[in-house]
Structure 1
Amino acid sequence: MAGIEARTGGQLLADALVANGATHVFAVPGESYLDLLDGLYAQRNRVELVTCRFEAGAVHMAEAHGKLTGRPGVAIVTRGPGACHAAIGVHVAFQDSTPLVLLVGQIPMTETDRETFQEVDYRRFFGPIAKWVTQIDEAARIPELMAHAFDVATSGRPGPVVVALSEEMQKHLVEAVDVGPAPVLPPHPAPDALPRLMAMLEKAEKPLAILGGSRWTDQGRADIARFLTANDIPVAVGFRRQGLFDGTSAHFAGDLGVGADAGLVAKAKESDLILAIGTRIGEPVSQGYTLFDMAGSKPIIHVYPDQAEIGRVYRPALGIVSDLNAFAAAAAALPPVASPRWAGWRASVRAAREAQAKAPSYEGPLNLAVALQELEKVLPADTIFTSDAGNFATWPTRFMHVSEKQDFLGPTNGAMGYGIPAAIGAAITHPDRTVLCFVGDGGALMTGQEIATAFHHGVAPIVMVFNNGMYGTIRMYQERTYPGRVSGTALTNPDFRLFIESFGGHGEVVETTEEMVPAFQRAKASGKPAIIEVRMNPEQVTNRATIAQLRAQATK
């Protein structure tokens, strides 16, 4: 092409990332993409290359970046083992509907189907857990396929795209034009969608909204809050979606997910109209598909950006295909229902939330519920929370409230090992904000080595390790099913304070209620990556039951 400078495939790939708006890439280097690494060196002033220690950690960081920005997080891993390690992060992005682009170095094309060193067929390997999987074998097609990868990751229901990169393709010199995002306007509600919604709402007596989904903007969250509060509708959030609605609002009903309050579950069953906005109404939200009748006896208005998800499990009374932020803007512009009849209903739903958030008396010197509520009072208004998976996560979910300008990132697929890398990814994305990670002792040692990445890139997340010396969730189920027969769930842990101090970070230990807030304040003031080890009473295996109580219930 006249006037076009020839570039290597590796340079074209790096330039394609820039053309499609990538500002960070999270990577574990490998020989299968040396030419891409060299291309990123040339773009080092436009794209920050974050060097990670484990591929799962790298993809979790990219996924957190995607959650916070609404743009595809980008991770790069090497072939074979690197891609296999990365798969858990792809699954998180798939079930969390997070835009993500994973680039995987691939074997030389000429060695395909010989089971050569580290060979994997990525179309077959990632096919069930990615929106699209492709492989680039011709450098000239890089701009086309990379642009399409970013488009697919963000269109409809967002999710992960995997792009394999043939090794020798990255060395080829070609002339090609960079291709950026297509200017596609988001889908808006159909002309009669909102009038029909309001007509159904006017007939209701006990409406309940459930918020979920991804790629909400600040304006979109403000708009949907304005619509729901103007109509006095109680609002629940889906599993680990606490950042979508102000938890301090009088309209907040709590979270429908794993460990949901029985009072909220009862209210959801009692409601006579569900506004499911952005949520797929998946297994955690639907309490194992028991919350509603799949045939649609309870009216559900389902708003989702992908028509394929509407009616997939629950038959709605009204399905609205729309970008969530576009729907929120349109709904917020509507005049509210005149004199809604459900003020008492909304108050009763809120009362149930307030009742479950009251701190009970727990045995021992540490009342974790009280400690977390005292901590909440001193947290910055724009704190970013990240959460790992496990029983520990139900403590902050039950007793704390994510406020309007705060963010909450957690794996809806229940992936342990997510919390610490996500906190690092969040801190790299927003280095000016406080990032607080909640993680159990099990998850902390799955990806805790990624704390080295925080030091390497100069960010300082605060990690709160809830240490009870066990895989607590599995122990809970074990005690319910096989009381007293402890098998495989006990753990041996390091001193987590010494662990972080060995990196040069700040360590704290909390063993009493009164120690929590001062420990956090010292950790924040240190300006270093920090771990606060919360030494819990192992007998208190959940915030609602002790091991002795579980055993007693199981033997009745």
Structure 2
Amino acid sequence: MHVGQAIVAALKTHNVNRVFEVPGESFLPVLDGLYEAEIETIVCRHEGGAAYMAEAHGKLTNTPGVAMVTRGPGAANALIGIHTAWQDATPLVLFIGLIPNSDRDRESFQEFDPKAWFGTQTKQVFVLDDPSRTHEVVAQAFHLAMSGRPGPVVVGLPEDILYEPFEGTIVSPIPVSSGAVSNKDLEFVQDALHKAKQPLLYVGGPGWTPQSSNALTKFAEENKIPVLHDWRATDRVPFDSPANAGWLGYGRSDTAADVFQSADLVIAIGALFTDVPTDGYQLRQTPDSKNIFVNIDANLHGNSAPVTRHILANPEEFVGDLDNIAMREQLNSQWFEDAHHAHMKFSAPVTVEPLRNTRPGTVNMEVVFDELQKQLDDSALFTFGAGNHCIWAQRYLRTQQYPSQLSVKNGSMGYSVPSATASALEDPSRTVVTIAGDGEFLMNSQELATAVQHDAPILIVVFSNGEFSTIRDHQENHFPHRVSGTQVDNPDFAKVAEGYGAFGQALTSNDDVAAAIQQALVSVKEEKRSALINVITDQNLSLPAN
């Protein structure tokens, strides 16, 4: 067994069922190891797409997504997925082929220093210089990716080492601690809840499961405690649960911010008071605010608010103990009901009559989201990346089970198609819908070819208005009527989709929306064929009406 085969054997030991890669000559022995392995190899079209897919896999499964890329340019392209995993605390292991050790420090072809490149955006960078430590390094990488605050880990693979025989020891996976909730912690939480008149649960972050999501929903509903979500993480409590009070961050309602500010106790489970949900460190910053943080990160990276108590546990561990907290005797039903009512009003099905006026040949986005709500079932899974189109997806797409929303907190464009592809591969039973703007779609549209090749049917809804809308909005705020550097000319995305082997249709009229979505869903659900709807929209109506 050579080291390349030993790496694949170690991945199998860690129950890896799928890797996302762009091939390179620097790690040919690993590809050889995958030849007969019971691990699905997803051949991606760009290293950024491969890293995004691995990141999405990590979000979906709470286990490290695995990507493999080559040295130099391949590693540089994959950095975007690493940055995303770092800011979203997503477990990911990236294997990078490196130059042979004999060529190191000689400015050889595609040489770079992986520790210098990735050191600030990963939990650790390993370089496998000793063949006998192959299994040990893989085990350490997976353990680090999942332990404490999850995140990305890089493993550099010198080309010459991969051809060496492996004569080392097989190392089993290293168990990961999920933290613990002490009796004193539970007593403190119970006492704080009993004293609070307007308690609030604030949820998000990694470490959730369908079971913990259901348990949290049950606890919140029975105790009449509203639940606010972190931004890009609104699937911990079902969209229409009476406990759901909406979300914080970009696109939030004013009522959500008011609820956050006026709560006399906030229990943050997995989520932190970072810059976006606090409106740039403005909300809930007073020294006397009472905030209990349930978070496996001992350092509470990114938190900006006072900490009343820190419980070192992940969400699943803490929520599993909620049954041990006695019910509050006096439940504030009005506080609970008002918060949910405001959320439902803000996110109500879009009123399609009367419609906002648009220029001829364009479609109202209200109509599209209204039809998506009508035609999708409660098991739909949504992905999106960054841009004004995400505000619509966050506000109107009903996330009814966990997990059902994958997005990015670092404002990274190009996530939509790769994340949808990884989702469809992981759970073929669900309808996967990705929402993209034209700017975002063009950044990784080639991964539609990956979805088609690997039988991962997805529905792509592209809103095309010929500009980078978010930047145009900022531009108009700072330099009114001086549009510069934000306008783009697009190809016919429907024809592009057909060229990849998917169903494609362009929409230029509200009258055609319902039929187009219906036909696209038939393609995805019945024909198992990816579909793309290119919605031509008006630049002046890129955000929802308030």
Shorter chain as normaliser: what TM range?
over 0.9
Where do residues 127-276 of structure 1 align in structure 2 (5 Å cutoff)? 127-276=119-268
Contact 1:368-1:513 within 8 A present in 2 as well:
no
Residue 524 (structure 2) pairs with residue 533 (structure 1): no
Select which of 341, 355, 370 maps to 1:351.
341
Partner of 1:519: 516
Partner of 1:84: 76
Contact 1:417-1:447 within 8 A present in 2 as well:
yes
Partner of 2:24: 30
Q: Which amino acid aligns with 1:174?
A: F
Q: Which amino acid aligns with 2:319?
A: A
Residue 405 (structure 2) pairs with residue 408 (structure 1): yes
| 1:316 positional shift | 1.0
Where do residues 81-480 of structure 1 align in structure 2 (5 Å cutoff)? 81-293=73-285, 296-309=287-300, 312-340=303-331, 342-358=332-348, 359=350, 361-364=355-358, 366-404=363-401, 407-480=404-477
| 1:96 positional shift | 0.9
Partner of 1:552: none
Q: Any idea what SS the aligned residue of 2:119 has? A: helix
Work out the CA distance in 2 between the residues paired with 1:369 and 1:316. 41
Work out the CA distance in 2 between the residues paired with 1:344 and 1:480. 39
Work out the CA distance in 1 between the residues paired with 2:369 and 2:110. 47
Work out the CA distance in 2 between the residues paired with 1:514 and 1:41. 50
Work out the CA distance in 2 between the residues paired with 1:480 and 1:391. 15
Moved over 4 A (4+): none
Contact 1:94-1:129 within 8 A present in 2 as well:
yes
| 1:139 positional shift | 1.0
Contact 1:381-1:405 within 8 A present in 2 as well:
no
Q: How many positions carry a matched residue from both structures?
A: 535
For residues 168-197 of structure 1, give each alpha carbon's deviation from its aligned partner in whole angstroms, at most 9, with x where no partner exists. Answer: 000111312322212445211122111111
Taking structure 1 as reference, are residues 512 and 234 closer, same or farther at Cα in structure 2, changes over 3 Å only?
farther
Alignment gaps of 5+ in structure 2: none
TM-score between the two structures when normalised by the length of structure 1: 0.93
Instruction: Return 276-285 or 89-98, whichever deviates more.
Output: 276-285
Contact 1:302-1:310 within 8 A present in 2 as well:
no
Work out the CA distance in 2 between the residues paired with 1:30 and 1:406. 33
For residues 81-130 of structure 1, give each alpha carbon's deviation from its aligned partner in whole angstroms, at most 9, with x where no partner exists. Answer: 00000000001111111110000001111221122111111111111111
Q: Which amino acid aligns with 1:303?
A: V
Work out the CA distance in 1 between the residues paired with 2:368 and 2:375. 11
| 1:287 positional shift | 1.5
Contact 1:106-1:166 within 8 A present in 2 as well:
yes
Select which of 41, 54, 57 maps to 1:62.
54
Contact 1:277-1:303 within 8 A present in 2 as well:
yes
TM-score between the two structures when normalised by the length of structure 2: 0.95
Work out the CA distance in 1 between the residues paired with 2:426 and 2:310. 35
Q: Which amino acid aligns with 2:388?
A: N
Residue 543 (structure 2) pairs with residue 542 (structure 1): yes
Identity of aligned residues (%): 37
Q: Which amino acid aligns with 1:37?
A: L
Q: CA-atom RMSD, angstroms? A: 1.6
| 1:514 positional shift | 4.5
